[in-house]
Structure 1
């Protein structure tokens, strides 16, 4: 009988072997009972999003209800808040280039795909965004005719089964969220099932998952990578257990429908300004944010703004359009619309982006054609956590906007600061795009946005030529 089983296993397909491994793997053992301090119990609380996370762990670990609460409470008792802050400082010393170089060594090359890089003057910037020539310089207007992502519920959600290898990091992550008072909400997210992108059009299928599942699985990969880099661990296949489990090779990265592939949309914002007696010729004002330490994604990194997860608010089908996410994030992150920030409050309006509810700046931008341009400039898959990234450009083309509303443009809690740059300041913008503090996806969107902006209006843009390349 053993010989027959061995022969069957040798002849099995990779998919059959993985199913056999899943069926025969032992269920993770429930943690031993530990005394629960009153202080830890109070910190754990019973907020709905924390309760959803606990229920998710119990379900996917095959634990009896309530076991995850005891596990997280025990992890809370073991946490040292100062050590977490020190770890955050250590992680902050790992640059975008460090991560991109490490992931280049980890992942095998794939024909037709490579990591996005760009030459900016004498410098070259490398990112961890896996892309292809067909996914770049899309110049795709974000209108219904060109922005064609479809929502489908036909494919089952590949929900992970938590094993001994993955359950402890999930429990610890939730404990750290509670200890550091990091915002966590279990909102629905789009997950990519397929992608069909070409110049002038973005298409594909998306399904629905929830943020808790992403936060306790794929979003752990960045922390594992930066901790390994700070410890001097050689980055190679087999050295990162969570990555080996969730995103082991380039084939897994590209197979978006077979894994949890969440993601988002982010855009370089360029605001036209007229000539000024002090500033000089007409230009575009560029806004760049430094991300707050209270966000789960790209904390303390430079990024373009707006930047947000691709997620529905009230209309699962219409909200799947990339342009819908960017308009909502523009309202939330720069125009002060807290009522559509579902990390702060529940969204109760049937149509949060109805014209009657828009902020004054957004209403002015959208009430007349020619004031606002939105385009997708590139698409890629971020090797850091497997996320999909729709890099975009938002251009406010009417010079009157800044005169009218410049004083109302203010970043929300997700940013610790805003930086302003002029497209006529070649030295400072060149210094900016070679800064090592960028997030990988932010740098990708910045470089692609600058390329497209120079094509649209060369008179307002005097920057070095930016030439992308696909690095293996």
Structure 2
């Protein structure tokens, strides 16, 4: 780049990586975050709009970096940021280094861990979400106030961040099939019609950790009020969770690691399942209210404990938290007797017209690789959207599964950052009011029949005991993709977004055999494809899917 942008000179655009050679000398070793990108913008002394033009990205992307500093830009934008920094003038690089605190001087190098530790200590004292988690641990662990805070502070001094990152790499090598088999060994076979979901898809044999039964599958339930009828019980009370010494210690470790890595979470309300009444074309049952911090320091710990054991991080067979929270299949099915959180996830299928280059009319199928910053299924394949079932503002109406599904579409596909509760507080009286919707969602809801959403099944995931509502979202009008296909862009929860054609049987079969799937993601993919084959007509050419209960 030659010089800086001013108000009368259009900045030179950053070429994509494929258009140039050169060094990555100034690139960030651990990749860019939204906060890093903002620092580069500040070092260049550009407005948000000018910085977006400078990088040749949408202004909404730059705005999101300001709203979500911990977000990780996509790989191609990471490369563009690397190049922008590498080719920036020396004075810009110096300002960026000063803002980053990454000067090559020994003093700055020694100060970096001190700065990180200071931030962690500040959050420990003042972050209301961390404080809520600490208070909950003291209360449920029947300990004196301040005990959890002191324990986390002590643990922070012992943490090696590089070791945590190495552990993350080891976890990523444990594939879906290994997890499913380990849980099959732990729990054994189901009885009374219950068992683990498995399926044959062409030459693919899939086995999952989703515990279900035949009348919970192929529900084909429209996600509208007359069929989508989960009910909120306001007097349900708190989830029956108590903490022994081992559970308290692991919860403290989880919080200390989150602080050391700079991971942020928001203590929002979360639906917990109390009762189940699922049948064809009808979702029934009851839910109560829990909180996100309760989940992340209890049931969410089970996945990491299991994967660490399988990766060799701890001795195989030593699963004390699982032995406490989810020891057998009776406990799995007793959803009201434990903290049973969960969510919704959907296979999206958008109709496309025939194309002389691509081929016949089909559906675009979207699949995501989850980022390393999400609370579960990190770095795994999943359908999109995927989210926890939780209220936004109307606790009773939002208990419908379809309410979460529409919200997740807005957030994860159509760029509605204002309904992402990890970004900021929710102050709108009705965030899903028609005038606030994104343009693609307004079009979909503008006329009946444009948006088809169905729940394709229900199950309880043995990984953490979560409930799962796999769904299918179908847009049959080709006009939508022609108008808005270019506006669909995944949010920070996605590291990469892939598209597949419903007419490409070979590639879709290969997709289903990928070992990188999360268990719930594979469950949703197979159930969604099974239903799409029934209703998609000539647009769909995939092998027959036959499920069984094991």
Q: Is the shorter-chain TM-score for this pair beyond 0.5, marking a shared fold?
A: yes
Of residues 287, 295, 307, the one that matches 2:386 is: 307
**Which blocks of at least 5 consecutive residues in structure 1 are unaligned?**
1-36
Retained in 2: the 8 A contact 1:106–1:235? no
Q: Does 1:168 align with 2:249?
A: yes
Deviation at 1:189, TM superposition (A): 0.3
Q: Does 1:248 align with 2:327?
A: yes
Distance change >3 Å, CA 280–CA 83, structure 1 → 2? same
* Corresponding residue SS for 1:78: coil
| 1:212-266 deviation digits (Å, cap 9, x = unpaired) | 0000000000000001111187765xx3100000000000000001000000010
Retained in 2: the 8 A contact 1:333–1:412? yes
**Structure 2 CA distance for aligned equivalents of residues 152 and 43 of structure 1:** 34
Match for residue 81 of structure 1? 161
Match for residue 96 of structure 1? 176
Q: Does 1:221 align with 2:266?
A: no
Of residues 186, 190, 213, the one that matches 1:132 is: 213
**Structure 1 CA distance for aligned equivalents of residues 284 and 197 of structure 2:** 21
**Structure 2 CA distance for aligned equivalents of residues 123 and 424 of structure 1:** 18
Match for residue 56 of structure 2? none
Retained in 1: the 8 A contact 2:204–2:512? no
Q: Does 1:59 align with 2:149?
A: no
* Corresponding residue SS for 1:264: strand
Match for residue 185 of structure 2? 105
Q: How many residues align?
A: 433
Match for residue 148 of structure 2? 68
**Structure 1 CA distance for aligned equivalents of residues 154 and 461 of structure 2:** 34
**Structure 2 CA distance for aligned equivalents of residues 86 and 122 of structure 1:** 35
Deviation at 1:159, TM superposition (A): 3.5
Match for residue 196 of structure 1? 277
* Corresponding residue SS for 1:400: helix
Of residues 266, 272, 285, the one that matches 1:185 is: 266
Q: Which has the higher contact order (CA 8 A, sep 6+)?
A: 1
**Structure 2 CA distance for aligned equivalents of residues 262 and 69 of structure 1:** 26
Deviation at 1:153, TM superposition (A): 2.1
**Structure 2 CA distance for aligned equivalents of residues 419 and 141 of structure 1:** 26
Q: Does 1:420 align with 2:491?
A: no
Match for residue 51 of structure 2? none
**Structure 1 CA distance for aligned equivalents of residues 123 and 333 of structure 2:** 40
Deviation at 1:427, TM superposition (A): 1.1
Deviation at 1:183, TM superposition (A): 2.7
Match for residue 41 of structure 1? 121
**Structure 2 CA distance for aligned equivalents of residues 346 and 177 of structure 1:** 21
Residue pairs, 1:43-442, within 5 angstroms: 44-108=124-188, 109-231=190-312, 239-442=318-521
Retained in 2: the 8 A contact 1:43–1:179? no
Q: RMSD in angstroms over aligned alpha carbons?
A: 1.3
**Which blocks of at least 5 consecutive residues in structure 2 are unaligned?**
1-116
**Structure 2 CA distance for aligned equivalents of residues 374 and 67 of structure 1:** 47
TM-score by length of 2: 0.77
Match for residue 30 of structure 1? none
Retained in 2: the 8 A contact 1:421–1:428? yes
Please list every run of at least 4 consecutive aligned residues from structure 1 whose deviation after the TM superposition is greater than 4 angstroms: 37-40, 232-236
Match for residue 28 of structure 1? none
